[in-house]
Amino acid sequence: MSLRIKHLEKHYNSVTAVSQLSFDVQPGEIFALLGPNGAGKSSLVKMLVGFTHPDAGSIELLEDGNRYAAIPSHLLGYLPEDRGLYPEKTVKQNLQFFARLHGVGERDFTARCQHWLTKFNLSERVNAPLKSLSKGNQQKVQLITAILHKPKWVILDEPFSGLDPINQELVVQFLAELRQQGMTVLLSAHQMAMVEKLADSVLLLNKGQSVLYGKLGDIFSAYNRNIIDVSFTQTVELQHLTLLSDDYQFTHQAPTQLSISLSQTQTLNQLLPLLLQMGDIRELKNQSQSLHAIYLQAVAEHNACDQQGATV
Ligand SMILES: Nc1ncnc2c1ncn2[C@@H]1O[C@H](COP(=O)(O)OP(=O)(O)OP(=O)(O)O)[C@@H](O)[C@H]1O
């Protein structure tokens, strides 16, 4: 049982939404699909669930001796980009509709419903019309509809969007529990702090192309840079920056601030004398690399390469 994507392409007239994309999703993992707006995440998800077809390349799912060109509906739990339940119906009626659609028996339905509604703090709203719930609470109901039938594959398009931090945490716990139950979860998201907490693997897309892909731990190791934020008491003079420019990667955050990225072989001991030549230091902070920072760096580097390629 594995999902293998090879050289996938999707074009909408002149727009290339997905380009030469190859990756694997391992069974039982939480796989996060990341990327700026318009990077191609939803286009990819729609192909994975069979809503649209690739223009080239292949999707191959091997499951129980069968081979599929998209995740078939009997194996799938799906939270689409465009949410849609029945607003006039109650929470329970909505859940019941999707459970029956997937052949979930009444006893299982009751137990699972109770379990998830309690987890999402929605038990008291079970008989309320869906439209009377806040947008965030409606989204939680829709998440439950996606997994009540315990699918093997769960595809969630932006499950954190529109949720407050408390509900985002509940969704993190929800996803961790799905993994514990043996489901494979592929989700797209913009909330790096949430992804960092629970993803096993990530794929970062930019302009339809893969920019970063792999186990989250491996990505952190590869980007294992120490970031030093320095505040000076006065403006950093341009000529002082030349002290750093040959050996250090840095950004000039504000007139009095620098952010310097140390490679694995560079030490603060080596850097400090240079900084002291530049002026009086007000504050010096060591920040560890976050997925947010890695994302920004990888996308910026890819955009720079892309622009260089375009001008050559
Ligand atoms: N049906 C469509 N017709 C034409 N162009 C489309 C269509 N769907 C997507 N696109 C284009 O394909 C590109 C990728 O869009 P997509 O929605 O897949 O990105 P995304 O990563 O999901 O973005 P977001 O994070 O904003 O949801 C964009 O340039 C978008 O405008």
CA pair distance 51, 70, nearest whole angstrom: 9
pLDDT at 293 over 90: no
Q: Which residue has the higher pLDDT, 312 or 184?
A: 184
User: Which residues sit opposite 257 in a β-bridge?
Assistant: 231, 254
User: Hey, how many other C-beta atoms are within 10 angstroms of the C-beta on 160?
Assistant: 22
65 contacts: CB under 8 Å, gap ≥ 6: none
**Atom number in ligand 1 closest to CA 35:** 21
Residue of 33, 43, 46, 82 to mutate, ligand 1, most atoms within 8 A of C-beta: 43
Per 3-state DSSP, what percentage of the chain is helix, strand, and coil (rounded to 5)? 40, 30, 30
Task: Summarize the confidence of residues 40-47 as an average pLDDT.
Answer: 95
Q: How high is the pLDDT of residue 137?
A: 95
pLDDT band at 309 (very low <50, low <70, confident <90, very high): low
| Residue owning the nearest CA to atom 30 of ligand 1 | 38
Helices 238-245, 268-278: crossing angle, 10 deg rounding: 160
Q: Are 230 and 258 spatial neighbours (Cβ–Cβ below 8 Å)?
A: yes
Residue with tokens 């329970």, as numbered in its chain: 92
pLDDT band at 290 (very low <50, low <70, confident <90, very high): confident
Q: How high is the pLDDT of residue 114?
A: 96
CA pair distance 36, 82, nearest whole angstrom: 18
**Atom number in ligand 1 closest to CA 13:** 4
pLDDT band at 57 (very low <50, low <70, confident <90, very high): very high
Handedness of CA 111, 117, 119, 125 (dihedral sign): negative
Q: Are 33 and 205 spatial neighbours (Cβ–Cβ below 8 Å)?
A: yes
pLDDT at 55 over 70: yes
| Residue owning the nearest CA to atom 4 of ligand 1 | 12
Span from the CA of 186 to the centroid of ligand 1 (angstroms): 18
Residue type present at position 32: A
71's tokens: 């995740």
Q: Is 39 in the pocket of ligand 1 (CB under 6 A)?
A: yes
User: Hey, how many other C-beta atoms are within 10 angstroms of the C-beta on 135?
Assistant: 10
Task: Summarize the confidence of residues 151-155 as an average pLDDT.
Answer: 96
Residue 10: alpha-carbon gap to chain centroid: 20
**Helix ranges, the chain (H):** 41-48, 91-101, 106-119, 135-147, 165-180, 192-198, 216-222, 238-245, 268-278, 291-311
pLDDT tens-digit readout, 263-281:
878 888 899 999 999 999 9
Span from the CA of 48 to the centroid of ligand 1 (angstroms): 15
pLDDT tens-digit readout, 2-36:
899 999 999 999 999 999 999 999 999 999 999 99
Query: What is the number of alpha carbons within 13 Å of residue 100 lying toward its C-beta?
Result: 6
pLDDT band at 215 (very low <50, low <70, confident <90, very high): very high
pLDDT at 312 over 60: no
pLDDT at 252 over 90: no
pLDDT tens-digit readout, 83-137:
788 999 999 999 999 999 999 999 999 999 999 999 999 999 999 999 999 999 9
Span from the CA of 40 to the centroid of ligand 1 (angstroms): 6
Q: How high is the pLDDT of residue 225?
A: 72
| Residue owning the nearest CA to atom 16 of ligand 1 | 40
Span from the CA of 79 to the centroid of ligand 1 (angstroms): 17
Span from the CA of 8 to the centroid of ligand 1 (angstroms): 15
Q: Are 268 and 277 spatial neighbours (Cβ–Cβ below 8 Å)?
A: no
Q: How high is the pLDDT of residue 72?
A: 94
Phi, psi dihedral angles at 108 (to 5 degrees) = -60, -40
| Residue owning the nearest CA to atom 7 of ligand 1 | 12
Q: How high is the pLDDT of residue 94?
A: 96
